[in-house]
Amino acid sequence: MAIPTMVSVARGPWSLESGVHGPIVLATGLWLIFRRMPEIQRDMVPGAVTPTVVALAVAVPAYAFGRAFDFVSVEVAALMLALLAVAYAYVGRRVLRAMWFPIFYLGFIIPVPGWLLDQVTQPLKLFVSLVVTWTLTQFGYPIGNSGVTIYVANYQLLVEDACAGLNSLVSLSAIGLFYIYMLRGSNWRYSMLLLALVLPIAIAANMIRVAALVLITYHFGDAAAQGYLHKFAGMVTFTSALLFIFLVDKLLTPVRDALASPGDTMP
C-alpha cells in the first residue's frame, strides 16, 4: 500500500509548490520515531484486537476508493490510518500516546485537497491585493485593483495562488512545529499557539512579496518582475517568514514557560 502511494504523491502533490515540504516531513517524521526506538521497545504492549479491526475496516476501503478514483488526499489519509492501526496492534496505546507529536507532524504529508485550496485561496488573494493596493496608495503610487488584479501605471498584475500565502502556510507550519519540538520539547499548548500564529505570518510575508513585485514592475518594468526576481522573491518570502517564526518564538519565551506543564516531555 505504501509504495504506490508514495510514488503517486512524489509525482503529483510533492512536485508542486504547495507540497514541496512533503519529503522533508516524511524523512524527519520517521527520524523522530526511530530515534526513540529504545523507549518504544521498553513500553510496547500489544493493543486490543477490536480497535485494530475497526480502524482497518475503515482504512482499507477508504484507501481503495482514493486509489481507484485518484483522490490522493483520501488515499494518503487512509494509508496513515491503516499504519496507525497496525502500529497500535504491535505497540499499544501508551506508545502511540507518547508518539503524539511525530504522528501529528507526519499528518502534514497528507496533500490539501484541491477544492479546499480553491475555496480558501480566493478570499486570501482578494485580501492580499486589497491591502497591498491600499498601502501603496498611501505612498502616492498610481495603483488600483479589480478583484485579484492589481493595476499600477500601465501594467496589470494578477495575484496568483502562491501569492496568497496558503502554499507556504503548510510548509511553515510543519517546519515551525518541528523547530519548536526539537528545541522546546513537546509542549502541545505552545505548539498550537505557534501554529495559530503561522497563518498571519505567512499572509504578511506574502503581502510584502506582492508589494515588492508591484514596485519592481513600476520602477523596472514587467520583464524584471516576472523573471528571475519573481522566483527569488518567493524564496526570500519563505525564508523571511521562517526567520520571523524563530523571532516570535524568542519573544514568546515567557508565554511558552507559562504554558508548560509537568506532563510535557522533552523529545
Q: Which of 200, 230, 240, 209 is nearest to 132 (CA)?
A: 209
Q: Are 201 and 241 in contact (CB under 8 A)?
A: yes
72 with 7: CB under 8 angstroms?
A: no
Q: Which of 49, 169, 157, 65 is nearest to 117 (CA)?
A: 169
Q: What is the pLDDT of residue 261?
A: 60
Name the 3-class secondary structure at 156. Answer: strand
Residue 181, pLDDT score? 82
pLDDT value of position 221: 81
What is the C-alpha separation between 60 and 234, in angstroms, rounded?
A: 39
Q: What is the pLDDT of residue 123?
A: 86
- Domain spans of the chain, in order of start: 2-109, 114-259
Judging by beta carbons within 10 Å of its beta carbon (0-12, 13-18, 19+), is residue 96 exposed, middle or buried?
Answer: middle
Q: Which residue has the cell 510535557?
A: 264
* Overall residue count recorded for the chain in this entry: 267
Per-residue pLDDT of the chain (267 residues; tens, 9 = 90+): 778 888 888 888 887 767 778 898 999 999 999 999 999 999 999 999 999 999 999 999 999 999 998 889 999 999 999 999 999 999 999 999 999 889 999 999 998 887 777 777 788 888 989 999 999 999 999 999 888 889 988 888 887 766 656 667 778 888 888 887 887 665 777 777 877 888 788 888 888 888 888 888 888 887 766 765 666 766 777 788 888 888 888 888 788 777 766 555 444
DSSP state of 260: -
Q: Which helix (H) or strand (E) element contains residue 146?
A: strand 143-146
pTM: 0.78
Residue-level pLDDT at 34: 93
Catalytic residues: 163, 209
* Cell digits of residue 37: 526506538
